[in-house]
A and B are shown apart, each in its own frame.
Chain A
């Protein structure tokens, strides 16, 4: 098969690159995605906080992904699902080998994307040879994976109950399954914080979030919304030094570390828990790139690229988490757009002189150290956006609340509300009957009172809706008497043959 442009990875990076390349005039494009749907990791990030820059509104992960999927579909850009690129070779043309899943699944999955018009390419028969593709240009958008326990080298037993935060997230948000009841989270990056809250909402007892650094790598807004809101302690400068439990996890031993990161044995403390979530960093998935001999940057673990996102290998571009780990998907989309544009230019007019490859600039990482002096009675952190301004709210003589410290009006509004009637958006998932999946992700149509969160979760937990569900459908009305509705944030098609699953269970 011959293509002008092949995009490896159908996450936000790959999709944005494809859309931009199309708009720049390259129409012979193919997206390869190894998962069963487009959208990448966003499909399981059902919380909100995406798209403030790109779409000027706060979206959940699946909603953000759907917007790009829609753009891809509007342009009829072909994609192959359950198809994994396994080999890449530079040159003219660039050669890609892919492994392709059962074609029937491609057909079936296609229905999930309700507005689907473009057929996925007639793929290969299952078990057939690898798929060979020749391309003029390639965009690498394979994303990243999480650091596993082994890489952290935590001593102790290897029982069931130790998950990376991302796999626990998948269990809860996509499969509707429960990975744990008494949870300790190691690592206080955003994913760790989000999962601490998610487990709590799901009814688990989240004992603490343990962080080896003296600060949290998560956004301030997430510290507030995920930990402070639920009284989950954050143990800075602590780590896990032992794992107990021969079959299922029984507990972990935590200990404080000194400035050099060395454990202080006297501080060891045993924490009973049945589940440990690891959120200890992401590693760009560059097996393909390394295999192709593309020069890598030792710091970012991504390819070295020039200012047009081209790697050291001609015609091969890179963007998104495979290039360097991004905190915000909006930055991924922006970077991917640039990569898509350059790839299109390369296809249309050849390489030219593009300047030397350099390390990609990654935005400074957030570092949150709680201010001990913070006066909880009138000082708050604004959760309106990732900046996280420290607000001070005082009562004026006329009884009005005055907010200082905010950088924009959102903060003033938030500060006043937080002191009088605090509210929060809520995201979760609702069980689906007869769907191709077990749950569909949802959000509240408006913020709900903070003290109603668990009540709403109980109602959401009891609810069952039947497939099909389309993103935007109102699934539950007037939840817990708040007047707020529960709205689907993703699509869920009905299972065409539910009896299949049953008969297999006999």
Chain B
């Protein structure tokens, strides 16, 4: 019997788990994938938003700003990559884009995909909203002042909003840090454990998974894009979560220094802009698109999506050579339709908490959501704090040993450690996200054979049982 069962091992589920691990409780996290953090958590912009986007008074605004404030201290305590690089929202002259960027005119891309018309009043709106939300240090700068901060920014930028508290974080780093620390403090992680049914009898929830039944007093639904399915298993008030796809293009470290701040575009009449940002690991990321789709698993990229983000990014900072692209990817936002996060005890199911519709800025807000939900849990199920809570966790250290991944210079010892931690890596992707082995220029071309060998040895498996990301994604075939 668990006191709390958390359904969903994304960044939000893991933050909640870590926060609850401070209390004397028995906690389980159930995750359907072979690893934590493989939902929206693995494919997003990695931005720690300052907090000027969400309307004042919303949970989004509250938790975004709070999460932003918590991030630095957490990054020190739990040792995950975070950089407070500051962000800029660019405001463009009217009708600049297609005329100025020759390549766009030549690329055959329809002009309305890249034209960005802005007016400055929207910038002031953001500034006001940010101030109401309690975002510190916001300033509107002139185009020249912006170019002094960020020389690559286009001449057609006339002004912009500067947010010194904006930052970037490694989304997996944050999630693994939270999960590992939660595990050290007693939280049990069950991966490859998919919830297929929930029943409440008396005051106990019986959670049926493909691997058996878990019993718990409280259930927290943090299933991301599937939060509606989980909710609808117990509640009579139906919920829908729609996937909204966002595509990205990631560039080589060689061009990672193109910008040092996160550079947004002010949304214009022709839709949302894209951002250009360095990542905490020194690559350059551009994206995302925003496309409503039906399929909750459709994380495929499209030719038009890649072209769109590349072209829009060029409007901000000029063109980047296509040869510098190292990969593209897509993530699905869990779009709830209310415009705000839904974090509450479900009316008709006491003891069942929804943490749903956590779209952007869910990554930023995650630690604050953790605190917020933990407070709700304390109120429903009072319990003592742990005296022996261990707040610290260290990341996997790079060393000087034998190099397995050449591009990122990841050693054998780091790979071993990624596997041996709890919850540790069990797949190629798990290794990749924990150590960056395979994330570099060659994208695993050289190191995947070695990593498969090490995984097989460590997990006591055969090489052909090793997967990219869980059952069904085996890399090799059984040799006959």
Q: Which of B190-198, B364-372, B461-469 participates in binding chain A?
A: B461-469
Complex alpha-carbon distance, A34 and B327, angstroms: 26
Q: Which residues of B contact A175 (CB under 8 A)?
A: 449, 453, 463
Is the pair A100, B402 in contact by a Cβ cutoff of 8 Å? Answer: yes
CB distance from B294 to the nearest CB of A (A): 15
Q: Which of A159-167, A219-227, A229-237, A481-489 participates in binding chain B?
A: A159-167
Is the pair B476, A179 in contact by a Cβ cutoff of 8 Å? Answer: yes
Could you give, for residues 442-453 of chain B, a 1 whenever the CB lies within 8 Å of some chain A CB and a 0 otherwise? 111110110001
Could you give, for residues 395-418 of chain B, a 1 whenever the CB lies within 8 Å of some chain A CB and a 0 otherwise? 000011111001101011100000
Is the pair A101, B402 in contact by a Cβ cutoff of 8 Å? Answer: yes
Is the pair A127, B413 in contact by a Cβ cutoff of 8 Å? Answer: yes
Closest to B478 in A: A178
Q: A127-B400, A130-B400 are in contact. Are A504 and B460 (CB under 8 A)?
A: yes
Contact of A160 among B406, B443, B474 (CB under 8 A): B474
A361 beta carbon closer than 8 Å to chain B = no
Is the pair A174, B449 in contact by a Cβ cutoff of 8 Å? Answer: yes
Q: Which residues of A contact B250 (CB under 8 A)?
A: 150
Is the pair A150, B325 in contact by a Cβ cutoff of 8 Å? Answer: yes
Is the pair A82, B402 in contact by a Cβ cutoff of 8 Å? Answer: yes
Complex alpha-carbon distance, A83 and B460, angstroms: 28
Complex alpha-carbon distance, A332 and B333, angstroms: 51
Contact of A150 among B327, B409, B472, B480 (CB under 8 A): B327
* Chain A residues numbered 130-181 whose CB sits less than 8 Å from any CB in chain B: 130, 145-146, 148-151, 153, 155-161, 163-164, 166-167, 170-171, 174-181
Is the pair A157, B448 in contact by a Cβ cutoff of 8 Å? Answer: no
Is the pair A99, B306 in contact by a Cβ cutoff of 8 Å? Answer: no
Contact of B401 among A101, A177, A506 (CB under 8 A): A101
Complex alpha-carbon distance, A159 and B468, angstroms: 8
Complex alpha-carbon distance, A445 and B305, angstroms: 54
For the complex, count residues of B whose C-beta is within 8 A of A.
Answer: 57
B303 beta carbon closer than 8 Å to chain A = yes
* Chain B residues numbered 141-162 whose CB sits less than 8 Å from any CB in chain A: none
Closest to B453 in A: A175
Q: Which residues of A contact B306 (CB under 8 A)?
A: 153, 155
Is the pair A248, B445 in contact by a Cβ cutoff of 8 Å? Answer: no
Contact of B460 among A34, A129, A505 (CB under 8 A): A505
Number of A-B contacts (CB under 8 A): 145
CB distance from B464 to the nearest CB of A (A): 7
Contact of A153 among B297, B325, B477 (CB under 8 A): B325
B212 beta carbon closer than 8 Å to chain A = no
Q: A127-B400, A170-B449 are in contact. Are A160 and B460 (CB under 8 A)?
A: no
Q: Which residues of B contact A248 (CB under 8 A)?
A: 472-474
Complex alpha-carbon distance, A100 and B467, angstroms: 29
Is the pair B297, A128 in contact by a Cβ cutoff of 8 Å? Answer: no
Of residues B325, B326, B400, B442, which shows the largest number of chain A Cβ atoms within 10 Å of its Cβ?
B400
Q: Which residues of B contact A157 (CB under 8 A)?
A: 299-300
CB distance from A172 to the nearest CB of B (A): 10
B56 beta carbon closer than 8 Å to chain A = no
A121 beta carbon closer than 8 Å to chain B = no
Q: A175-B453, A181-B477, A248-B474 are in contact. Are A102 and B442 (CB under 8 A)?
A: no
Could you give, for residues 211-240 of chain B, a 1 whenever the CB lies within 8 Å of some chain A CB and a 0 otherwise? 000000000000000000000000000000
Q: Given known contacts A127-B401, A160-B468, what 16 new A-B pairs fall within 8 Å (CB)?
A: A84-B403, A86-B409, A99-B401, A101-B412, A128-B400, A149-B327, A150-B326, A155-B303, A155-B305, A156-B300, A159-B468, A163-B445, A175-B463, A247-B469, A247-B472, A285-B406
Closest 10 CB pairs of A and B: A101-B402, A150-B327, A247-B472, A148-B443, A160-B468, A160-B473, A247-B473, A178-B477, A164-B445, A150-B326
> What are 26 residue pairs bridging A and B, where the CB atoms are less than 8 Å apart in the complex?
A34-B406, A99-B400, A99-B411, A101-B401, A102-B401, A130-B400, A148-B442, A148-B443, A150-B250, A150-B325, A153-B249, A153-B325, A153-B328, A156-B300, A156-B301, A160-B467, A164-B445, A167-B448, A167-B449, A175-B449, A177-B463, A178-B477, A243-B300, A247-B469, A248-B472, A504-B460
